[in-house]
Amino acid sequence: DERIVIVGAGQAGGELAAGLRKQGYPGRIVLLGDEPHPPYQRPPLSKGFLLGKVALAELYLKPLATYERFDIELRLGARVEAIDRTTRALALQDGSRLSYDKLVLATGGRARRLPLPGLPRAPIENLFSVRSIADIEAMRAKFVAGNRLVLVGGGYVGLEVAAVAVQLGLRVTVLEAAPRLLARVTGPEVSTFIEQLHHERGVDFRLACEVQGLELDEAGCQVRAVRIVRHGIPEQIDADLVLVGIGLVPNTELASAAGLAVDDGIVVDEYACTSDPAILAIGDCANQPSAFAGGRLRLESVPNAIEHARVAAATLMGKREPSAAIPWFWSDQYGLKLQMVGLSAGYEQCVTRGSAGGKEFSAFYLKDNRILAADVLGRPAEFMAAKRLVASRAQVDVTRLGDAAVPLASLAA
């Protein structure tokens, strides 16, 4: 029997394993994951799961019985240490070997660590990151009313945690190196809107600040405060817990040690194949060509993991179905749905609909009157139309676009 081995039982790996069976793949499918859980959704980790509104079992993409029914050999707590491309075999941490005919790397990424020299090697008990169920379970006991949370990094995931923390009665300070929130991914109008959203609920911000160090207790086990410098002025922010949300490092070590091309992710072609035709890579760990972007991209989103799994399943079934997907992403903060589509890099004009001062608005990023990207904040009914405008790179009448009374759908030429 031909055997496909998938390394990484996350969103992309789980989708791929099931997708292969649904397409009628007749051979063996082995899905290896180093976490103790079957494939699960990460988005609720920083939202409903941390808030206590979503139970553990609700995170799982599929009940365990489904893997049995699909004849998928799901091995949990199984960490792959090395790939031997010559013999087409994997070395696992438990000392065993597993051969493959086709290998798929779906290894995701890990939270970036604070680049501070002199941090002790031993784990600091109240210093956390948000990537896995284990991370959330570790921090839960500290998420109690009155505790002071210092969040390093004001990205979407960090801001979701801030929103949950506020709802649970914690006092929250967000430290951000850039002069505005989400500066890399969105325009100033949206940054201001989101800052206000949090500020009104009591979140403190220190923008344009540099984290200089952590004040530890005498035993070196607990952070007591975070030392920052802002506009040349040093400040110390007291903390009961510190959460670091400064991005993701793709898990590419297996690939690079095996001599595969790696450049901000495992380099794949439009069919999800790496530089070795027997090995594919998908999801957060993969750097892929994007027809939409006109270049290469590494995306970190559920829609991308699902689409990339679809492309890989087609390739493994002997079909060629490159992705035509448009990058999109969502976030939830205080019950407000934020939906982002397209890539705003290089935009020349931002047109807003609705009121940025109010509870909801949309921002469109244009170049030569063509829509490159949109951020739809609290107006979910508008999102599908916005997505279509971005997909078609529609040329629009800017005045009509900015008039919330003109239906978006009527703007597409």
In the complex, least distance from residue 156 CB atom to ligand FAD, rounded to whole angstroms: 7
Nearest 5°: phi and psi at 104? -120, 125
Q: Does 106 bind ligand FAD (CB under 6 A)?
A: yes
In the complex, least distance from residue 403 CB atom to ligand FAD, rounded to whole angstroms: 30
Among 173, 251, 333, 339, indicate the residue that binds ligand FAD (CB under 6 A): 251
Q: Segment 201-240, which members bind ligand FAD (CB under 6 A)?
A: none
Among 254, 255, 262, 325, indicate the residue that binds ligand FAD (CB under 6 A): 254
Among 108, 158, 265, 327, indicate the residue that binds ligand FAD (CB under 6 A): 108
Give the C-alpha distances (Å, rounded to integers) separating 211 from 151, 205, 230: 11, 13, 9
**d(Cα 162, Cα 169) in Å, to the nearest integer?**
11
Within 10 A of 371 (CB to CB), how many other CB atoms are there? 27
In the complex, least distance from residue 110 CB atom to ligand FAD, rounded to whole angstroms: 8
Among 5, 74, 130, 211, indicate the residue that binds ligand FAD (CB under 6 A): 130
> How would you label 145-171 residue by residue, b for 16+ Cβ within 10 Å and e otherwise?
eebbbbbbbbbbbbbbbbbbbbebebb
In the complex, least distance from residue 134 CB atom to ligand FAD, rounded to whole angstroms: 10
Alpha helices in 86-237 (DSSP H): 133-139, 156-167, 188-199
Nearer to ligand FAD by Cβ, of 10 and 354: the residue is 10
Within 10 A of 358 (CB to CB), how many other CB atoms are there? 9
The stretch near ligand FAD (CB under 6 A) out of 18-26, 30-38, 113-121, 228-236 is 30-38
In the complex, least distance from residue 82 CB atom to ligand FAD, rounded to whole angstroms: 9
In the complex, least distance from residue 15 CB atom to ligand FAD, rounded to whole angstroms: 8
Interface size with ligand FAD, residues (CB under 6 A)? 36
Alpha helices in 206-334 (DSSP H): 253-257, 302-316
Q: Does 181 bind ligand FAD (CB under 6 A)?
A: no
Among 66, 301, 369, 395, indicate the residue that binds ligand FAD (CB under 6 A): 301
Cβ 284 vs Cβ 302: under 8 Å: no
Nearer to ligand FAD by Cβ, of 81 and 403: the residue is 81
C-alpha angle 94-72-305 in degrees, rounded to nearest 5: 90
C-alpha angle 365-371-372 in degrees, rounded to nearest 5: 70
The stretch near ligand FAD (CB under 6 A) out of 168-176, 199-207, 327-335, 395-403 is 327-335
Among 69, 79, 199, 393, indicate the residue that binds ligand FAD (CB under 6 A): 79
Torsion 291-293-298-299 (CA) sign: negative
The stretch near ligand FAD (CB under 6 A) out of 66-74, 103-111, 170-178, 369-377 is 103-111
| HSE toward the beta carbon, residue 151, CA cutoff 13 A | 31
Q: Does 8 bind ligand FAD (CB under 6 A)?
A: yes
Q: Does 329 bind ligand FAD (CB under 6 A)?
A: yes
**d(Cα 311, Cα 307) in Å, to the nearest integer?**
6
DSSP assignment of 174-205, as one string?
Answer: EE-SSSSTTTTTS-HHHHHHHHHHHHTTT-EE
Q: Does 46 bind ligand FAD (CB under 6 A)?
A: yes
Tokens of 305: 């993991």
Residues that bind ligand FAD (CB under 6 A): 7-13, 32-35, 42-43, 45-46, 79-80, 106-108, 130-131, 157, 251, 254, 283-285, 300-303, 305, 329-331
